[in-house]
Amino acid sequence: MEATSRPLRKLGFLTIGLFDESDPGPGHQATLRLIELGEQLGFDSAWLRHRHLQHGISSPMAVLAAATQRTDRIELGTAVTPLGWENPLRLAEDLATVDVLSGGRLNPGVSVRLPTHWEHVKDSLYPDSADTEDFGYERVRRLLDLVAGKQASSFSGTEGVEVFSDRVQPHSPGLIRRMWYGGGGLRSARWAGEQGMHLLTSSVVKAEESEDFDEVQLSHIRAFRRVHPSGESARVSQGLVVIPTDSATPAQRARYEEYARARLPRTERPQGPARLMFAPDLVGSSEEIAERLDLLAAFREIDEVAFALPFTFAPGDYEQILVDIATRLGPALGWQPPADLVAGESAGPGRGRRVS
């Protein structure tokens, strides 16, 4: 079946938030400045990815809480929070708090699986309950129920001068409608749709029914919408690595092209026991990238993106990439920046999305 083209409605970006282990402050500040820049450029959303026990953002909720006080419009999300590292009740409190601080701009994305390097971290993470913890979909259901305001305690009332609630506080009523699931497999896509969540699909999928990345991703999107209460209008955000070079220096272009070349072999066949498939990084002018995206059937069925920034680049590289995405690539894909942006910040109307 031919994919139909949807005009690009929401433009977002995803960053890992790298920092120097010996001096982590500047890296965290650079991430906050990048989110501020995203808002200034008109991006609809900025997303952070968890990196536990690494030199990337380990606590997105803390960073996003700071970002709420430095931005006014841009939506803030996680792509994704692995729930194996989280207590659903405590996470529900953090999510609601950040959503309140943001004025209702939080978009939490979650997933479930065993924590990375489980055998090495389980004694620190769950010293008394490692063998009984549930790392399946029920963990997400617990979080959804708590975010929705369902009972969290069998006690409520006044004790002395203290008042206790039987549900998570603060309660942010709209948050439950902004919960996303990061799925790389067909089963996860269907499950997310059945729960009425939104779907985050990225540059990594499982080679289950095909070894063609685009075919697999398209099947996930369609399976998700087939069972979702909203049907064809159910929200899907796609996250691919795109590196426009319109305003890049020759040195930057050379570095970007070498980065993509070094990662290309992993895209040629399924990797590891899980048979993971990776999408190639897209490097080139915005016009070239837009043409390549328009050839992807999965991309033509979505109207939201969270383009992933490469993990190892410098802050100046990220700024150049964001400026090119917002002023050239986005408009080339039919995206329009917010009307209240100062005239002249946008590159103007682009060529729009090609209908196949």
Rounded (10°) angle between helices 213-227 and 186-195: 20
Question: Which pLDDT score, from 0 to 100, does residue 340 have?
Answer: 82
Question: Which pLDDT score, from 0 to 100, does residue 154 have?
Answer: 98
Task: Calculate the average pLDDT of the chain.
Answer: 94
- B/e letters for 298-335, b = 16+ CB within 10 Å, e = fewer, are bbbbbbbbbbbbbeebebebbbbbbbbbbbbbbbbbbb
**Residue 237: which residues within 8 A CB-CB, separation 6 or more?**
10, 12, 180, 198, 199, 200, 201, 302, 304, 305, 306
Q: Which amino acid is at 355?
A: V
**CA-atom Rg of the chain in angstroms:** 20
Res. 355 pLDDT band, cuts 50 70 90: very low
Question: Could you tell me the end-to-end alpha-carbon distance of the chain, in angstroms, rounded to an integer?
Answer: 11
**Is the pLDDT score of 15 beyond 70?**
yes
Res. 6 pLDDT band, cuts 50 70 90: confident
CA distances from 236 to 9, 198, 243 (A): 11, 6, 21
Question: Which pLDDT score, from 0 to 100, does residue 344 have?
Answer: 46
Res. 349 pLDDT band, cuts 50 70 90: very low
Chain segment 226-273, per-residue pLDDT in tens: 999 999 999 999 999 999 999 999 999 999 999 999 999 999 999 999
| Residue 190 CB neighbours (<10 A) | 17
| Residue 95 CB neighbours (<10 A) | 25
Peptide bond into 121 cis (omega under 30): no
Chain segment 176-198, per-residue pLDDT in tens: 999 999 999 999 999 999 999 99
Chain segment 197-219, per-residue pLDDT in tens: 999 999 999 999 899 999 999 99
- Rounded distance, CA 212 to CA 75, Å? 32
**Residue 145: which residues within 8 A CB-CB, separation 6 or more?**
none
pTM score, whole prediction = 0.94
Chain segment 127-159, per-residue pLDDT in tens: 999 999 999 999 999 999 999 999 999 999 999
Res. 7 pLDDT band, cuts 50 70 90: confident
User: Where in the chain are the domains?
Assistant: 10-153+163-332
Peptide bond into 26 cis (omega under 30): no
Question: For residues 219 and 199, is the Cβ–Cβ distance under 8 A?
Answer: no
Residue from 74, 46, 34 nearest 319 by CA = 34
CA distances from 85 to 115, 287, 303 (A): 6, 41, 31
CATH, range 10-153+163-332: 3.20.20.30
Question: Which pLDDT score, from 0 to 100, does residue 160 have?
Answer: 97
